[in-house]
Amino acid sequence: MGIMDRLSSLIRANINDLIDRAEDPEKMLDQILRDMQSNIGMARTQVAAMIAQEKELEIDLNETNKLALEWGNKAQRAVDAGKDDLAREALRRKRDNEQNSTVYQQQLTVQEQSVEKLKQQLRQLEQKYSSTMSQRDVLIARSRRAHAQQKVAEKVSSFSPTDPSADLDRMERKIRGSEAHAAALTEMGDDSYEAQFQELDNDDDIEAQLQALKGGPSVDAPVGELPQGTADPGAPVGDTAVALEAPSEVTTGGQ
């Protein structure tokens, strides 16, 4: 294939592609209907012209048959009158008209067939036009539905990393991170409260040790246990007296 042939094929391909993209089914259907209507008008005009020619042929045929009959009668009259030369001329004209009548009959037969064929084609064209008119709305609705489905399919197939679904996933991850950070702060707050309570417990231990050094009752000492040197309120009176007199003897000896 030569360069010019390839270039011609490339140009035709690009032009056909542009035409295919520019075609609007709705506008094309309307144009098809207009073309069909125009063709119907031209076909009707043609059929009418053919019918007129048919009528003219019928008139010519009837006229020729009438003349042939008349010249036959004249030939008979000439024979009756003994004028053979006149009878011969009348017979020649009768023959010419009969020949013309035969030709007219043949033409009329062909014309009738042509007119009938054109009428049939006209009826088919009118039926096709009526069918297209009734289906126009359905075809347009199908075209619009197919166009909408195509657009949706193109959008679905052309999703990119920056499409809205990716943004939603990113926002969800960000919200999860915020929730985790809030939970961590809450847990740290709980730990600080526990540390404060632990510090209070440590302060109680320090106070108990301080009281022990001072000889006072320990904060953590059991209820039934008293510090050393303290009289038991439940002991007998005599024992208590002995315990009280012991310091007096020590004092006397010192004197």
The CATH number that applies at residue 92 is 1.10.287
Q: Please give the pLDDT value at position 158.
A: 62
Q: Please give the pLDDT value at position 163.
A: 55
Same domain, 188 and 114: no
Domain annotation covers residue 84? yes
Same domain, 152 and 205: no
Same domain, 151 and 177: no
The continuous run of DSSP H or E covering 228 comes out as: none
Q: Please give the pLDDT value at position 204.
A: 66
Q: Report the C-alpha gap between 166 and 170 in whole angstroms.
A: 6
Q: Report the C-alpha gap between 118 and 105 in whole angstroms.
A: 20
User: Which segments in the chain show pLDDT lower than 70?
Assistant: 1, 16-23, 155-167, 188-205, 216-255
Helix-strand-coil percent breakdown of the chain, rounded to 5? 85, 0, 15
Nearest CA to 122 among 197, 13, 195, 37? 37
pTM: 0.47
Provide the domain limits for residue 181: 169-216
Same domain, 36 and 151: yes
Q: Please give the pLDDT value at position 22.
A: 56
Burial class (CB in 10 A: 0-12, 13-18, 19+), 104: buried
Domain annotation covers residue 137? yes
Q: Please give the pLDDT value at position 110.
A: 93
Q: How many domains does the chain have?
A: 2
Same domain, 144 and 173: no
Residue 97 · residue 71 · CB < 8 Å: yes
Same domain, 68 and 22: yes
